[in-house]
């Protein structure tokens, strides 16, 4: 199949899962023109934001900025939409997260200058800054910052209302998910902060969207439905800030929502607590990286400040059947297993082809890791990071478990099934399968069974027929390998042995890269174990001195 035809077939298998609403708004937004609304001059309600300000510093002088570990300059009007910068970097330029940073008050004059510069150099509806997602994040940051100022210029207040009114014309119904929730949050913040009929309409719309999207986006086990631990953190933080906004503003409409919002937050906090490693950071399933969302400890601390209590489970086995993740915890190690689907069928943009992958820490050290996410956009590297070989699971021939393509697309996708999850006499057995390869040319079903006890993990991979397959297993860059024979290796942290790994087939050690943050690519090692007989057994044995 040639590339053009392959792309067309992939497009068909992608589009057929979309909601009619998404298709309608994609067409509608392509042809409609935004109305540049000239708002009335608003005034603000007198309340002060008391929530934590924990973003990283990103403004360093009148023209120096830094986002996603990359420096930049804003010297002219063109730099707000610089063609040499990645789209995500430019989005961050327009977010104004520096206004919500720890030492932000020390840069109040610089921040005020950047706000005025943005208003002057970004006319309504022109450029990246007026797209709905950066508009949403910027408005929340501006509201929090303005609430803490002794005086706010009328130009800033008027710009905020104008941005809110224009945002309301382009709510991201064509994308849905976390984007639409961010839109709703922004409307709610603006509508709670500014007085007037226009602001009240924005508030009503924001609250209506928030409540409907909470019902849609958070699963019964507490997970955000896009199944990315990073986006779960982002949405949970958004929800905590909305709860805080209700308390801070004492807005009657928001206060009426508090009980429901806190109920959702409790379940979401519990889920997050089961998806982090002992080092305190999230696991890397789907689009996930460190440094974009708030740290888990910051989220838990914020929840505590808001009086939200949640359950943390210390059982050997935790299984989230709605979202499709299980956690195994013993004294010496912890393991997180992905038996999830790619996310909601109509919104798989942040999905990776990582079905039946796992991550494992020994003590507080991450050892076996998925490769992470260092960039967005459309590139070969972005696609490589989403494909099956970048994860701790099985690829078949040259196929991925789900047909990820472009930057945020998935055609045919794997559907996983949890076959077994039992804990008996301090032994855990989890088994799951997926049909991703059954839908493609290999026509084979992959089943993975993990048998875990206090000092070992046995991984059994079974294919429904003999076929050329490969187990990919990525090592954290802090650990290194020593091959003891063709079928076994020792895993070290410095000169301290953590575990041995042995397999029923020959092991190959390769160079690879690990991406714990956006803009970072760190050399690491990767194990590959090819097999063709349809069955592979891989044993991880912890060494007693590491326990």
Please give, one letter per residue, the 3-state secondary structure of 227-288.
Answer: CCHHHHHHHHHHHHHHHHHHHHHCCHHHHCCHHHHHHHHHHHHHHHHHCECCCCCECCCCCC
Residue scoring higher pLDDT (296 or 312): 296
Whole-model pTM: value is 0.95
Helical segments of 76-131, H only = 87-95, 108-121
Q: Is a pLDDT exceeding 50 seen at residue 166?
A: yes
Q: d(Cα 315, Cα 242) in Å, to the nearest integer?
A: 32
Q: What token pair was written down for 49? A: 């934001």
Q: What token pair was written down for 88? A: 């995500």
> According to the model, what pLDDT value does residue 545 have?
60
Task: Tell me, letter by letter, the H, E, C secondary structure of 178-209.
Answer: HHHHHHHHHHHHHHHHECCHHHHHHHHHHHHH
Q: What token pair was written down for 12? A: 């068909």
Q: Is a pLDDT exceeding 80 seen at residue 544?
A: no
Give 486's contacts (C-beta < 8 A, 6+ positions apart): 506, 507
The residue among 204, 173, 202, 200 whose CA lies nearest residue 187 is: 202
Q: d(Cα 107, Cα 8) in Å, to the nearest integer?
A: 51
Answer yes or no: are the C-beta atoms of 370 and 385 closer than 8 Å.
no
Q: What token pair was written down for 216? A: 């849609």
Work out the mean pLDDT of the chain and round it to a whole number: 95
- 343 phi-psi bin (left φ>0, alpha ψ -120 to 50, beta other): left
> According to the model, what pLDDT value does residue 140 have?
98
Q: For 181-200, how does the pLDDT look when each residue is reduced to its tens digit (9 = 90+)?
A: 999 999 999 999 999 999 99
Q: Is a pLDDT exceeding 80 seen at residue 3?
A: no
> According to the model, what pLDDT value does residue 145 have?
97
The residue among 87, 141, 547, 515 whose CA lies nearest residue 363 is: 547
Q: For 96-120, how does the pLDDT look when each residue is reduced to its tens digit (9 = 90+)?
A: 999 999 888 899 999 999 999 999 9
Answer yes or no: are the C-beta atoms of 249 and 310 closer than 8 Å.
no
Q: For 37-79, how does the pLDDT look when each residue is reduced to its tens digit (9 = 90+)?
A: 888 889 999 999 999 999 999 999 999 999 999 999 999 999 9
Answer yes or no: are the C-beta atoms of 382 and 407 closer than 8 Å.
yes
Band of pLDDT at residue 353, cut at 50, 70 and 90? very high
- Residue 59 DSSP SS3: strand
- Residue 136 DSSP SS3: helix
Answer yes or no: are the C-beta atoms of 352 and 489 closer than 8 Å.
no
> According to the model, what pLDDT value does residue 2 have?
64
> According to the model, what pLDDT value does residue 422 have?
97
Q: Is a pLDDT exceeding 70 seen at residue 1?
A: no
In the chain, % helix, strand, coil (3-state, to 5) comes to 35, 25, 40
> According to the model, what pLDDT value does residue 547 have?
45
Q: d(Cα 139, Cα 119) in Å, to the nearest integer?
A: 13
Residue scoring higher pLDDT (328 or 35): 328
Distances (CA, A) of 511 to 382, 481, 523, 539: 18, 12, 7, 22
Q: What token pair was written down for 506? A: 């020959």
H or E element that contains 458: strand 456-463
Q: d(Cα 516, Cα 288) in Å, to the nearest integer?
A: 8
The DSSP secondary-structure symbol of 439 reads T
């Amino acid at each position: 199949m040639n590339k053009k035809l392959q792309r067309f077939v992939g497009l068909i298998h992608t589009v057929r899962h979309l909601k009619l609403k998404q298709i309608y708004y994609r067409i509608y937004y392509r042809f409609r023109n935004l109305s540049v609304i000239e708002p009335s001059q608003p005034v603000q309600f007198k309340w002060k934001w008391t929530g934590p300000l924990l973003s990283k510093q990103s403004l360093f002088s009148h023209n120096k900025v830094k986002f996603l570990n990359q420096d930049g300059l804003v010297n002219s009007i063109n730099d707000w939409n610089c063609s040499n910068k990645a789209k995500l970097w430019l989005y961050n330029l327009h977010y104004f997260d520096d206004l919500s940073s720890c030492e932000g008050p020390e840069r109040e004059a610089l921040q005020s200058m950047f706000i005025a510069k943005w208003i002057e150099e970004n006319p309504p509806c022109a450029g990246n800054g007026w797209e709905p997602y950066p508009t949403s994040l910027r408005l929340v940051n501006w509201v929090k910052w303005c609430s803490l100022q002794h005086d706010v210029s009328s130009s800033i207040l008027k710009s905020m209302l104008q941005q809110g009114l224009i945002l309301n014309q382009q709510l991201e119904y064509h994308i849905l998910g976390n984007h639409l929730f961010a839109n709703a949050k922004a409307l709610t913040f603006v509508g709670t902060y500014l007085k007037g009929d226009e602001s009240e309409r924005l508030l009503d719309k924001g609250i209506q969207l928030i409540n409907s999207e909470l019902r849609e986006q958070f699963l019964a086990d507490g997970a955000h439905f896009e199944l990315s631990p990073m986006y779960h953190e982002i949405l949970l933080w958004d929800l905590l800030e909305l709860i805080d906004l209700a308390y801070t503003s004492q807005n009657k409409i928001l206060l009426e929502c508090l009980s429901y919002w806190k109920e959702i937050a409790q379940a979401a906090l519990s889920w997050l607590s089961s998806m982090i490693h002992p080092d305190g950071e999230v696991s890397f399933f789907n689009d996930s990286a460190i440094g974009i969302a708030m740290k888990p400890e910051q989220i838990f601390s914020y929840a505590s400040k808001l009086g939200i209590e949640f359950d943390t489970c210390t059982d050997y086995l935790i299984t989230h059947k709605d979202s499709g993740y299980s956690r195994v915890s013993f004294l010496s190690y912890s393991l997180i297993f992905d038996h999830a689907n790619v996310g909601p069928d109509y919104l798989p943009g942040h999905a990776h082809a990582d079905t039946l992958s796992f991550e494992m820490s020994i003590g507080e050290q991450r050892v076996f890791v998925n490769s992470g996410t260092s960039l967005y956009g459309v590139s070969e590297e972005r696609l490589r990071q989403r494909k099956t070989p970048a994860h701790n699971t099985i690829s078949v021939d040259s196929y991925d478990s789900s047909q990820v393509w472009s930057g945020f697309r998935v055609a045919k996708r794997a559907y996983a099934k949890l076959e077994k999850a039992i804990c008996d006499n301090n032994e855990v057995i989890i088994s799951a399968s997926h049909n991703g390869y059954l839908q493609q040319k290999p026509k084979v079903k992959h089943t993975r069974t993990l048998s875990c006890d206090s000092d070992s993990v046995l991984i059994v991979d079974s294919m429904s027929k003999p076929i050329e397959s490969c187990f990919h297993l990525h090592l954290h860059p802090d650990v290194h390998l020593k091959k003891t024979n063709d079928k076994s290796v020792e895993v070290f942290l410095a000169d301290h042995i953590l575990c041995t790994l042995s397999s029923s087939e020959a092991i190959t050690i390769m160079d690879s890269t690990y991406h714990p943050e956006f803009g970072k690519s760190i050399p690491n090692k990767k194990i590959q174990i090819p097999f063709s007989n349809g069955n592979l057994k891989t044993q991880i044995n912890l060494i007693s001195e590491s326990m």
